[in-house]
Amino acid sequence: METFITFLDNIGFSILTVIVELVFGYLIIKNILKQIKVLLIASKMDNSLVGFVVTLLKFGMMLCLILLCLSTLNIPITGIISAISAATLAIGLALKDILSSVANGIMLVVNCPFKEGDYVEIGSVSGSIKELKLLHTVLTTPDNKQVMLPNSQVFATSITNFSVNKTRRMEISVNVDYAEDPEKVKEMLLGVANSHELVLQDPAPICHYNYSKDSSIYFFVRVWTKGSDYWTVNWDLNEQLTKTLMENGIQIPFPQVTVSYRKEAGK
């Protein structure tokens, strides 16, 4: 009992206090983060960004709680902070790529070039944004593969967001034989484009052609549609345009070259 009382007098109460601080501190931090998450979601911030912000706040709060516990044990915090600073510098030099990803992740949160569910092209990788993490941006490709890109790579390369605008324009090319009447073909192509229920009439579909190709007249059919309907319209029009030309007897040529020669006098 005397040994136990001596232990309590020296450091026992401090240890008990630290345990209480850890338990209640963790519960308080958990509750605060929960409320912050609710507020961020209510502010209509993207879900992928909400998780990123909450993770940063959790890291900072837990670090403050640890420093508070060390102070309760009468461990000099100043020396620890100096040691942490020195260690941070050494770790920063060794893990500069990881820290760069964290910093670039913060910049992505600030600039917000995309949100969860957006279909984007980052460098040579295309897919839908699934989540923005502390170190990585997670994408899901059209064939359901998961790709994790370092935030440093995401921030340093070009980002093309196909979902940010409500409408998109598509261009479909069609080749027909030089023997066909271009105005007749143009009328057919525009008829197909205008009859599709998902094609917008403002701006209206347009069709142009030129004779720059070696073996065919080259037509451009340009239409506007909602971003969510882009691929449906693309597949439908490619199929319907081809069927319409074939049903009306329009020849769709294959690459060919016409060779001619001149017979000179006396030979």
Q: Give 131-150 as a 3 state SS string.
A: EECCCEEEEECCCCCEEEEE
Above pLDDT 90, what percent of the chain?
A: 19
- pLDDT tens, residue by residue, 84-94: 666 666 555 55
Query: Domain range holding 33?
Result: 11-94
Q: Are 65 and 26 in contact (CB under 8 A)?
A: yes
CATH number at residue 25: 1.10.287.1260
Mean local confidence (pLDDT), 121-126: 88
- Which residue is listed with tokens 């479909």? 172
Task: State residue 37's pLDDT score.
Answer: 82
Task: State residue 233's pLDDT score.
Answer: 92
CATH number at residue 215: 3.30.70.100
Distance CA 156, CA 128 (A): 19
CATH number at residue 157: 2.30.30.60
Residues 125 and 82 in one domain: no
Q: How many domains does the chain have?
A: 3
Higher pLDDT, 173 or 135: 173
Residues 157 and 119 in one domain: yes
- pLDDT tens, residue by residue, 6-17: 655 656 567 777
198, pLDDT greater than 60: yes
Q: Are 73 and 66 in contact (CB under 8 A)?
A: no
Q: Are 91 and 100 in contact (CB under 8 A)?
A: no
- pLDDT tens, residue by residue, 21-35: 888 888 888 888 888
Confidence of residue 192 (pLDDT cuts 50, 70, 90): very high
CB atoms under 10 Å from CB of 147, counted, come to: 15
Is residue 58 domain-resident?
A: yes
Residues 176 and 229 in one domain: yes
Average pLDDT value for the chain: 80
Task: State residue 235's pLDDT score.
Answer: 92
- Which residue is listed with tokens 């199929």? 239
249, pLDDT greater than 80: yes
User: Which ranges of 43-157 does DSSP label H, i.e. alpha helix?
Assistant: 47-72, 77-94, 96-111, 151-156
